[in-house]
Amino acid sequence: MKCVRPCPTGAVDHYFDLARPYSIDDQLLWIELPSELSVQAASEAGNSESSRGSQIAPVSASTPLNRYSRENPARAIVSSNTRVTGETAENDVRLVIFEFDETPFDFIEGQSVGVIPPGLDANGQPHAMRLYSVACPRDGEKPNAGNMSLAIKRIVWRDGLDREVRGVASNWLCDLRPGDAVDIVGPFGTDFLVPDDPDADLLMICTGTGAAPFRGFAHRRRRMWPNAGGKLMLIYGARTMEDLPFSQTLQKYTQAEFRRELAFSRAIAGDRQYVQDRLRMCAPEILWLLRRPKSHMYICGLKGLEDGVDEALIDITRTHGINWLAFKSEMHVAGRYHVEVY
């Protein structure tokens, strides 16, 4: 049977409580599912799973992993390629949408996929695979149409002789046109995932295209649980507003449903603002969020970002008698601290 989206495996997104466990042999005889118990009745029946009172699938149960390899990739067709930084911005960042058509390519928010640029490298070998975070929710950029989006920044720099050098993968991806075919590998990633829990509070800190997975988190929350109790807070850094990817997408959210603080490092001469400065400015709110029992913290972006965030959080928590590094370590052990930096 074909998978029913948005469940990536076709089986695990809907949980309910039963009075007793059933063997596989029992299950193979089912014509209809057994009836669902109320949490209280299930608890009285002594069902240990249900006695926790949770009907939320653990995130790991629905994590598709490495279904497509370099040797056996999924073929995707580009359906659109849109610039998501301002026209005058230095950064050219693109949101590229891929359609999988009949190839079922399942993923969940926070996972990455691999792409392999066509052709050979300077040593005559096939190019290395490049990883990009999925930028949409698991049911796709357009819901339930077998599609996926990636955020790609065009990389251009000057070499020692002042000649322009263009990154192979990023320029190939940024120049893709609708109808072009791309082989996709993966998905990858088991750590940078979001709990399937509308009450989880998410503190997300990123720079530039590091916002890609958080776009997926926010869209998922809005589609699945528009009245969720959990808070979404984004601390997002870029050089200028024009350089900030997805600024138009962010405007579609109210601050109440998706709280965000933006830090611009080159918008005003002599006033460099970084995400760590925003953290300090929002110290009471950040502390409140981190102390919530279901809070998760995510850092995504440039290498070095985590060090600056640590420095800010050491300062913020010290005044409240908290040792940030110990606190962070506890969050990490509990699976509530997640980092992805390149």
The answer to whether the peptide bond before residue 21 is cis (omega within 30 degrees of 0) is no
Quote the CA–CA distance of 217 and 27 in Å, as a whole number. Answer: 34
**Distances 190 to 21, 160, 227 between C-alpha atoms, Å:** 28, 39, 27
| Distance between CA atoms of residues 4 and 25, nearest Å | 24
Phi, psi (deg, nearest 5) at residue 85: -115, 160
The CB-nearest residue to ligand NAP is 208
Q: Which of 140, 189, 210, 216 binds ligand NAP (CB under 6 A)?
A: 210
Size of interface with ligand NAP, in residues (CB under 6 A): 26
Please report whether residue 153 would count as binding ligand NAP according to CB under 6 A: yes
Which CB atom, from 300 or from 316, has the smaller least distance to ligand NAP?
300
Based on the shown chain and the rule CB under 6 A, indicate whether residue 261 belongs to the binding site for ligand NAP: no
Q: Minimum CB separation from ligand NAP for residue 185, in Å?
A: 15
With H, G, I as helix, E, B as strand and everything else as coil, classify residue 40: helix
Among 266, 291, 318, 332, binds ligand NAP (CB under 6 A): 266
Q: Does 288 participate in binding ligand NAP (rule CB under 6 A)?
A: no
Does 114 bind ligand NAP (CB under 6 A)? Our answer is no
Supply the minimum distance, in Å, between the C-beta of residue 175 and ligand NAP.
Answer: 16
Under rule CB under 6 A, residue 209 binds ligand NAP: yes
Please give the backbone phi and psi of residue 225, each rounded to the nearest 5 degrees, phi first.
Answer: -135, 75
- Which residues carry out catalysis? 132-133, 300, 340, 342
User: What is the C-alpha separation between 198 and 225, in angstroms, rounded?
Assistant: 6
Q: Determine, following the binding rule CB under 6 A, whether residue 320 of this chain makes contact with ligand NAP.
A: no
Length of the chain in terms of residues written:
342
Which of residues 105, 132, 214, 298 is near ligand NAP by CB under 6 A? 132
Taking CB under 6 A as the rule, does residue 238 contact ligand NAP? Answer: yes
Binding status of residue 304 toward ligand NAP by CB under 6 A = yes
Indicate which single residue of 77, 267, 302, 322 sits in contact with ligand NAP (rule: CB under 6 A): 302
Distance CA 235, CA 322 (A): 21
- Options 208, 235, 261, 316; binder of ligand NAP; rule CB under 6 A: 208
Vertex 195: Cα angle to 193 and 23 (nearest 5):
105
Query: What would the two tokens of residue 279 be?
Result: 């953290």
DSSP-derived secondary structure for 262-290: EEESSSBTTB---HHHHHHHTHHHHHHHH
Q: Measured from the CB of residue 85, what is the shortest distance to ligand NAP in angstroms?
A: 9
Whole-angstrom distance, CA of residue 63 vs CA of residue 59: 7
| Positions that interact with ligand NAP (CB under 6 A) | 91, 132-133, 151, 153, 207-210, 212, 237-239, 243, 265-266, 274-275, 300-302, 304-305, 308, 340, 342
